[in-house]
Amino acid sequence: MHQVPPRRRENAGAPVLAVCRAWSIGRRVLALSLMFTMFLGSLIIPLHPKSVMASALGIGQGYWHTRGTQLLDANNRSVRITGVNWFGLETSNYAPHGLWVRSYKDMLNQIKSLQFNTIRLPYSNQLFDQGSMPNGIDFTKNPDLCSQLLPTGGACQKALAGYQIMDKVIAYAGSIGLKIILDQHRPDSGAQSALWYTQQYPESRWLSDWIMLARHYAGNTAVIGVDLHNEPHAPACWGCNDPTRDWRMAAKKAGNAILAINPHWLIFVEGMDCFGPGGATTAPQATCGWWGGNLMGAAQYPVRLKVPGRLVYSAHDYPASIYQQPWFQAANYPANLAGQWQKLWGYIQTQKIAPLWIGEFGSRLQTSSDQQWLKALVNYMGIGVNGLSWTFWSWNPDSGDTGGLVDDATWSKVDTMKMAYLSSILFPLPYPGR
């Protein structure tokens, strides 16, 4: 089957309205130191009755855990992740994108008002380096992301560091009842990586940054878990027992190291692109699909963590406009999609192995094929609290091949076609204290 060519969905070059000198702060110091706006105008989003019930009952409090294939909140009530990806911290802007147009609080308020309950927040390990200076921020709209403003004009004299901007986003998200999943999207800010490490950012750095974050956010129930690495793919393998390439082994190592510090976090483990006997990664021995979208290896080589009730498997899925996978050319498309998904990752849920989270899926919906794909995927994921968890790619309109949920010009006008597909599978959470 086809290997998927490298894709770069994030646009790294954001407009720089105010580039400020970031604080000089070492990683050791980092480890230690560690309104409502536009609601969519005329768009009204119908909610499933079970979603309305979730808000009414105050579901979703505290840390979340698993039981069988179900996610549960701190009071053992069933919950479901239904959210968006908001990228930028992993790029050379070292800040969530769109802050050159709006304030981060405005955008979080709008995400909440649209009934999403979770944000997958990508970052790169390079974010935590001394020389990684946040840019592409209008500090007149985001004054609290700057430690010192000039008396006139709103120009920033000293910016917050990237990890402090992450803190600000997470703190405000938690204050309005949004949950956060941290996503190690790439080691450096330049490009995706097949492995969870590179020569510049070795596995030891990957592990130490996760441990640092586990300590830093310990006790903060807005952060419910961590996506250990985005879209692992060949030469990475699953079950080949090569410690330099075996993603399952690495996920177990990192997951246990994180849980030793913060035992309350969910550990999200993505699939591979290819899996075959003995962890083979090439056809014809291996069955291949999307990067991060093949969990076939988990049946024979499961991830086992020392803390029960914390493992969630994750898959990514995309339509034909991203890459012409063979199943899109089948005579019975789109009826064949459910069987394809069941083989690659759906069995995780139906065989009651663990909860399943579709961490990325998205499209510009400019073709009938893509529209058929999204309709089928939404139906497959199901409605209500027992449906599959998901985070849509992406909130950002500057995702090159998928676009986003808001427009490029204002970052506020919502794509009503995309929301029409997603509205039936939302699971909103209440504001804290309600």
Q: For residue range 243-273, list pLDDT tens digits in order.
A: 999 999 999 999 999 999 999 999 999 999 9
pLDDT at 18 exceeding the cut of 50: no
Length of the chain: 434
What is the sign of the dihedral through the CA atoms of 52, 53, 55 and 56?
positive
Q: For residue range 124-181, list pLDDT tens digits in order.
A: 999 999 999 999 999 999 999 998 878 776 688 888 999 999 999 999 999 999 999 9
Tokens of residue 1, six digits: 């089957």
Average pLDDT rounded to a whole number, residues 61-78: 97
Average pLDDT rounded to a whole number, residues 285-298: 97
Q: Report DSSP letters for 202-259, one per residue.
A: -HHHHHHHHHHHHHHTTT-TTEEEEE-SS---TT-BSSS--TTTBHHHHHHHHHHHHH
Burial class (CB in 10 A: 0-12, 13-18, 19+), 219: exposed
The pLDDT value recorded for residue 43 is: 37
What region, left, alpha or beta, does residue 319 occupy, with left being phi > 0 and alpha being psi -120 to 50 degrees?
A: beta
Distance CA 213, CA 227 (A): 12
With contact defined as beta carbons under 8 Å apart, do 337 and 371 qualify?
A: no
10, 37, 66, 385 from 59: Cα distances, Å: 33, 24, 15, 11
Closest of 236, 268, 260 to residue 390, by C-alpha: 268
With contact defined as beta carbons under 8 Å apart, do 159 and 133 qualify?
A: yes
* Superfamily of domain 27-425 in the CATH hierarchy: Glycosidases (3.20.20.80)
With contact defined as beta carbons under 8 Å apart, do 310 and 65 qualify?
A: yes
Q: For residue range 201-253, list pLDDT tens digits in order.
A: 999 999 999 999 999 999 999 999 999 999 999 999 999 999 999 999 999 99
CB atoms within 10 A of CB 331: 6
231 tagged catalytic:
yes
Closest of 187, 142, 194 to residue 164, by C-alpha: 142
Can you list the positions of beta strands (E) in 246-330?
A: 266-270, 274-275, 287-288, 311-316
5: pLDDT confidence band, cut at 50, 70 and 90? very low
Task: Give the contacts of 125 (CB within 8 A, at least 6 positions apart).
Answer: 184, 186, 187, 188, 201, 205, 206, 209
Phi, psi of 358, rounded to the nearest 5 degrees: -90, 95
The pLDDT value recorded for residue 58 is: 74
Tokens of residue 176, six digits: 């309005």
Amino acid making up residue 225: G
Helix axes 247-261, 203-216, angle to 10 degrees: 30
Tokens of residue 391, six digits: 């985070």
90 tagged catalytic:
no
pLDDT at 195 exceeding the cut of 80: yes
* Long-range contacts of 63-66, Cβ-Cβ distance < 8 Å, separation of 24 or more: 63/221, 63/224, 63/264, 63/265, 64/179, 64/224, 64/225, 64/266, 65/264, 65/266, 65/309, 65/310, 66/266, 66/309, 66/310, 66/311, 66/312, 66/354, 66/355
The pLDDT value recorded for residue 147 is: 86
Selected catalytic residue, list 10, 90, 231, 270 = 231
Amino acid making up residue 296: M
As beta bridge partners, residue 375 has none
Query: Given the structure tokens 């380096």, which residue do they identify?
Result: 129
Q: For residue range 336-387, list pLDDT tens digits in order.
A: 999 999 999 999 999 999 999 999 999 999 999 999 999 999 999 999 999 9
